[in-house]
A and B are shown apart, each in its own frame.
Chain A
Amino acid sequence: MNNISLPIIFLVLAVVVLVFGFGVVWLNRRKPAAPVVQRATPITKTAVVEKLVAEKVVVEEAVEEVAVTEVVAVVEKASVRDRLSKARSAFGGAVTSVLTRSEISDTTWDELEEALLRADVGVRVAQELMQPLRARVKSKEIVSPQQLIDALRQDMSAHLVSTDRELRFDATIEGPNIWLMVGVNGAGKTTSIGKISAQQTALGRTVMMAAGDTFRAAAGEQLATWAERSGAEIIRGAEGGDPSSVIFDAVQAANARNIDLVLADTAGRLQSNTNLMEELRKVRRVAEKGAGTVTEVLLVIDATTGQNGLSQARVFAEATQVTGIVLTKLDGSAKGGIVFAIETELGIPIKLVGLGETITDLVAFNPIEFVDALF
């Protein structure tokens, strides 16, 4: 047996279980499945989505029941379009070539698809968006390139407009509201907390920050700087400590001091890291063990993110019941089109958009401006 190298052995072991596991599923398909195995059958993608939607509905209903005062983050009205003009002038509208043609040809469709893909909406979503348009062009409902672009923009915003995007703050609950920030490394969680904190204190709410990122070096210091700038209090734990307990302590402290809102930071983690996702699940669970209630779980996504964003949203939502997306760094040259797929496919609303480094640069998401800026 010595001639078999170790890697092969490892591989074989992996294969053993996988082949075995697959076999069970396969057998089930051939025969009507036994009840127990059916229970064990994995959750399919649609099931996850349905579950998410269902959970969301439940949360919304519950919130309505207690007659919540939902408050929009009141900020200086910064137009997404204005802020993006820099990027747009630098790279030109990707659809200008579509518009310069006098009629709709095969090239038009190619260019339109390219514009969508360049904005990172993804191949499948791009095709789904173009299909109904093709039919409308065929039936002569749409004849000019300008009409085509307008129709596409309308369709896209129509997919986004119906959703409730307000940050949920429930003044009637006992104890503080807790807003939890989650996301991959470098998405901009800590910075977003700083900005949200400034806006919430401006609204007259008292804010406590929980430095739940105990992993990254100096993440606590970074958050403390933001706490100081925004007039919030902060609870920090030891570096390398248990994030759940830091957040729990912050909630208890906030409750004792009659503070309205706890903004809980967490360490960035890649969604493929099972152990860290388990840890996050625990953070979400433990956050509500004390006096407060988690009313928002915000997933922070960097606008430069490509198709992996969908996987991020799916896994984070499954682990922490994400209630909204914060799209950061949209003031760069990236368009953040992946959030269109996230909202339309997973039903997670985009709530805030980051457009710059100052405190007022985090604004409420506006679907029409976002779609206009996409191309």
Chain B
Amino acid sequence: MFDSLGDRLGGVFKRLRAKGRLTEADVNEMLGEIRTALLEADVNIGVVRNVVERIRVQAIGAKVAEALDPGQQIIKIVNAELVAMLGGETLKIAYASQPPTVVLMAGLQGSGKTTSAAKLAAWFKAQGRNPMLVGADLQRPAAVEQLKVLGAQINVPVFSAPGDPVATAAAGLAEAKRIGRDVLIVDTAGRLAIDAEMMQQVSDISAAVKPDYTFLVVDAMTGQDAVTVAKAFDETLSISAVILSKLDGDARGGAALSVKEVIGKPIAFAATGEKMDAFEQFHPDRMASRILGMGDVLTLIEQAEKVFEKEQAEAAAAKMFEGEFTLDDFLDQLQQIKKMGSLTNVMGMLPGVTKEMKNAQISDDMLTVTEAIIYSMTTEERRKPEIINGSRRTRIAKGSGTQVSDVNKLVKQFSEMQKMMKRMGGMAGKGGKKGGPMAGIPADLAAALGSRPGSR
């Protein structure tokens, strides 16, 4: 959808390379592209301005024109800057000496407070704590029921009483003390930052339960308004940390950067799925490359891990690297990858996928055609595509409802891929990082492959 920063800078540097040195105008053009990339990722415009200025200073100091690949070097600078901005101080939970440790959840309507409250309770439980939930959202119909159902799922008690949210929260605290729970999570109603009355109410709740931690739940899809919201909630409640919700979508999530920069509080957790355990501690490095549209390799790997059978995958990779990969194996893998979602989606997560490739928008229909062709081959043909001659080709084309030229293309492609895989196998085996150019594999993907830590 949007161009990644790599694509944007790629265009600029193609022209620059011929010149050999950067003028001020060149630097400005480059910074303009960085600015656009950040804005398209929903980073707040004020924050963008600051980031771009900081990058300007570093870019000039780094003498990028002398680098082999100035584009990559700039991306590295931008990436490092974002990681630094997103990271920094992390949130360490210090449990209250007199339990319970009280956590207050706040945020806009629909940002995901109730779900996050339950996920957070599950997380505390996994840390060996005994959490309790309080439903103080008496505004939205059935919000308390929702919390009770979720509480039952994760086996955490939920307290609520009708009437006044402030009184309910206070009663919840008393109840937690009475039954001896050591963490109390208070869910509150969603409210607009500009609704003075509702902001006063949450402030009263806060005064009543005196939270040790106040978490602001921010939707990863939020646009420019994230800053206004974060500021208002921080001023009213003094936020301890942010929970970024709905991060399993395809939003770039620039809001994370905006919020972090404006209120200076760490992003503690990220909610990454519909299930109760889809809740993890925040990774600044992943977020940085996501904002820049540089692909999210780690997420891709996680998704792949869910659909691929471990042994099968290992066997297939081994075959691949030794050049013994057959069309049958290919078909197998094709089907696994289809489970990961649409190809365009998967491709979006790969780093270094060029603009041209993205624009090609590989359709999933194409996979169906490819499958049909392979299905129309005999076992022997699948094992040794080189035996496919004219009459076999005609038969396969007829069987799959395609043209002979399509069959040709597939066979040709396959053999090229086999060669490439063999070469990659050699490199991966050596663990070489700086191997020669890998045909067809984008440079930073190759780097990612080479530099992945050895075990997981």
Contact = CB atoms under 8 A, between A and B. Distances in A.
Given A13-B304, A222-B142, A34 B346 contact: no
Contacts of B72: none
A258 to B, nearest CB: 28
22 contacts: A3-B454, A5-B454, A6-B305, A6-B314, A9-B317, A12-B421, A14-B300, A15-B350, A18-B362, A24-B366, A25-B360, A40-B368, A42-B344, A43-B363, A87-B194, A185-B112, A218-B143, A302-B219, A308-B42, A309-B221, A331-B192, A332-B193
A115 to B, nearest CB: 10
A270 B253 CA distance: 14
A283 to B, nearest CB: 17
B308 A10 contact: yes
B110 A36 contact: no
Contact of A274 (B193, B223, B316, B342): B342
Contact of B274 (A41, A215, A222, A274): A215
Interface of B: 1-2, 36, 39-42, 45, 108-112, 139-143, 145-150, 153, 192-194, 219, 221-226, 228-229, 232, 246, 248-252, 254-255, 274, 297, 300-301, 304-305, 308, 310, 313-314, 316-318, 320-321, 330, 333-334, 336-337, 340-347, 350, 353, 357, 360-363, 365-370, 401-403, 405-406, 409-410, 412-414, 416-417, 420-421, 424, 428-429, 431, 440-441, 445, 448-449, 452-456
Nearest to B231: A333
B400 to A, nearest CB: 9
Contacts of A273: 248-249, 341
A123 B32 CA distance: 11
Interface in A290-341: 302-311, 329, 331-335, 337-338
B366 A13 contact: no
Given A274-B342, A329-B109, 13 more contacts: A13-B308, A14-B350, A19-B440, A21-B343, A21-B367, A24-B366, A34-B409, A42-B363, A120-B224, A215-B274, A304-B229, A306-B255, A332-B193
Nearest to A33: B405
Dominant secondary structure of chain B at its interface with chain A: helix
Given A306-B224, A332-B225, A333-B228, A4 B330 contact: no
Contacts of B454: 3, 5
Interface of A: 1, 3-27, 31, 34-37, 39-45, 86-87, 90-91, 114, 117-120, 122-123, 184-188, 191, 215-222, 224-226, 239, 270-274, 302-311, 329, 331-335, 337-338, 357
Contacts of A304: 108, 219, 221-223, 225-226, 229
B39 A123 contact: yes
A34 B336 contact: no
Contacts of A184: 221, 246, 249
A118 B150 contact: no
**Residue of A40, A185, A186, A218 with most chain B CB atoms under a 10 A cut-off:** A186
A17 B334 contact: yes
Contacts, number: 311
Given A34-B405, A117-B45, A307-B2, A5 B452 contact: yes
B413 A23 contact: yes
A27 B363 CA distance: 15
Nearest to B308: A10
A238 to B, nearest CB: 13
Given A185-B246, A270-B250, A333-B194, A5 B224 contact: no
A26 B360 contact: yes
A1 B365 contact: no
Contacts of B221: 184, 302, 304-306, 308-309
